[in-house]
Amino acid sequence: MSDINEIKSLLLKHDQAHILRFWDRLSDHEREELCQDVRETNIPEVCSYFKRASDSMTDSQEKLDDRLKPIPSHLYGAVSRTSPELLDLYEQEGLVQISEGRVGVLLMAGGQGTRLGSSNPKGMYDVGLPSHKSLYQIQAERIRRLTRLAKDTTGKEGRITWIIMTSEHTMEPTLNFFQKHKYFGLDKNDVILFEQGLLPCFTFDGKIILDKQHKISRAPDGNGGLYRALRDRKIMDEIENRGIQYLHAHSVDNILVKVADPVFIGYCVKKGADCAAKVVQKSSPTEALGVVCNVDGKFQVVEYSEITLKTAEMRNNDGSLTFKAGNICNHFFTADFLKKIANKHEKELKLHVAKKKIPYVDSDGNLCIPEKPNGIKMEKFVFDVFPFSSNLVVWEVNREDEFSALKNADSAGKDCPSTARNDIYSLHERFIREAGGDFSCNESIVCEISPLASYAGEGLEKVVGGQVYKSPLHLKSEDENCITNGNSH
C-alpha cells in the first residue's frame, strides 16, 4: 500500500480523503510518516468501529434491571465459604500447573502515574513503603517467591512467563527500568513486553482527526485492546510456543494483587473454566465498582450507572447484596480462550465511547485546542470478553487480603498512596500475629514483609514465632539481610 494512489483510493472509499489535504505542503519525510500512519491504522476496521460506536451513542441507555440476574451459586466460589482442605487442594493444583510451566501472567501496565503526580509508568511508582520498592518490583518478587513455593511443593522447577502490556508512552521507560534493575532477579527471557494498540480519534460525523498536518490523532484502545495486541504483536504465538495453558490477567495498580494466585488458578482449573473473574463484595450499593452478573443468559460486567438504585440495593436473606460481585480487573483465561477471542471475537467486542476535547488541525493547517468536546475516543474493556465464555466462574476474595487500588493522589483520601501503604501494613501485621509474632505497641504499626520472604503469610512461623517487634518492622528474606527492625540487627 506504499503507492499513494492506493492510499488515496482507500481513503476515498471510506470517506477519509481529508487525511491527505495537506499533501502538497509536506516534505518527503512527512509524506512517508503520514503513509505509515495510514498503513498502521487499518482504515476499514477502524471506520467500522466508528459506525458501531456511533450507533451505540444513539441507543437509549436503558436500565438493565429487568434483564439482570446474579451469578448462579454453583459458579460462584468464595474464599470465605470454602473449607481449608478445599482451599489447600486448589492451591496444590495451582502450584503443580506453575511447576509444569503452564502458567503465565498478563499484566496491564499501559497507564502513567499522572494522577499520582508522576509522568513515569504507574508500575514504577513507589508508594513509600520502608523498602521503597516499586509496584513492578513487588510483583516481580511475588512471582519469584511463587516459583520457589511450586518447586518446594512439587520438586519440579517451572517458570512463570510475565507478559506485560505497555502503551506507546510507557514502553521505553518500562524496558529501561527493568534493564536497570536486572529484571528484579527474574530471567529476562521470561519477561515479555509489548505495546497495546492505538485507535484514531474521530469527529462526531466520522472523520478521522489529524493532530498534525501529517499525523493522525490516536489514543490507546483501552485495556480491552489486550486481545488485539496479543494477536497483532504475535504474543499468542509466543504463549503457544512456551506451552502456557493458563493466564492470570490483572492491572498494575493493585498493590495487594496475588500475582498468578495458585488458589485462583487451581479453582479455575478444577472447575474447567475457560474464563473467570476474581471479585470482592461491594462495600455499598453505590460503590463505583462494576458488578459481574448475568444479562439475558450471558455474563458481563454491569456498571452502577446501568441499573437503578432500587436494584443496586437489593439484598439476599443473609443481608448481603444480591448484586455484590465487584469487578476488580483480575481475571483468569485459558490460552485457548484467548486465541478464540483474538482470532474470532475481537471485532465483536463492545466499544466504549468517550466524548473528548481533542486537539486538531484546522483547514488552514493550524493546531487548535477546542474549548468543548469535538470528537470521540473509542476503547474496549478487558472484561467485555465474558459473553463469549462457555464456562465462566467467579471467585470472591476478601478485600483486605487482595484489593487496594492505586489511582489517586493522597488529596483524594481513597485509592491513593496512603491507603495502599496502610493496607499493606495492616495485612502484613496480621501475617506476623497469625504466625505467632507480636508488637510492643498496638497503634499505627508500620510493617512490611518482603514478597521474597512470604507470598501470602506462609513460612513465617519459624522466623517470627514468639518474637515481639517494634514498629517499624521490615521483614526481609534471608537473601535480603534477614530482619531490619528499626535499626538493623
pTM: 0.91
Separation between Cα atoms, residue 351 and residue 53, nearest integer Å: 6
pLDDT of residue 58: 62
pLDDT at 65 over 90: no
pLDDT of residue 481: 64
pLDDT of residue 156: 95
Average pLDDT, whole number, for the chain?
93
Give tens-digit pLDDT for 13-48. Answer: 999 999 999 999 999 999 999 999 999 898 998 999
* Least confident residue range of 43-57, 209-223, 402-416: 43-57
Give burial (CB, 10 Å; 0-12/13-18/19+) of 321: buried
Q: What is the dihedral of CA 170, 171, 174, 179, to 10 degrees?
A: -160
Separation between Cα atoms, residue 202 and residue 209, nearest integer Å: 5
- For domain 416-488, the question of CATH label 1.10.287 is answered with no
Exposure on the CB side of residue 39, measured as CA atoms within 13 A: 10
Give tens-digit pLDDT for 103-126. Answer: 999 999 998 888 898 889 999 999
> What value does the mean pLDDT take over residues 261-287?
97
Exposure on the CB side of residue 114, measured as CA atoms within 13 A: 5
Superfamily of domain 60-407 in the CATH hierarchy: Spore Coat Polysaccharide Biosynthesis Protein SpsA; Chain A (3.90.550.10)
- The model's confidence at residue 486, banded by pLDDT at 50, 70 and 90, is very low
Q: Which helix (H) or strand (E) holds 211?
A: strand 210-212
pLDDT at 60 over 60: no
Give tens-digit pLDDT for 446-484. Answer: 999 999 999 999 999 999 999 999 999 999 998 886 444
Compute CA distances 177 → 117, 182, 257, 417, whole Å: 18, 9, 21, 21
pLDDT of residue 487: 32
The answer for residues whose C-beta is within 8 angstroms of residue 406's C-beta and 6 or more apart is 116, 122, 125, 127, 135, 253, 254, 255, 415, 416, 417, 420
> What value does the mean pLDDT take over residues 200-225?
94
Q: Which region, left, alpha or beta, applies to residue 429 given φ > 0 means left and ψ of -120 to 50 means alpha?
A: alpha
* Least confident residue range of 64-73, 302-311, 476-485: 476-485
* Least confident residue range of 40-54, 59-73, 291-305: 59-73
- The model's confidence at residue 61, banded by pLDDT at 50, 70 and 90, is low
Domain residue spans of the chain: 60-407, 416-488
Sign, CA torsion 94/98/102/105 = positive
**429: its cell numbers:** 501485621
Sign, CA torsion 317/323/327/333 = positive
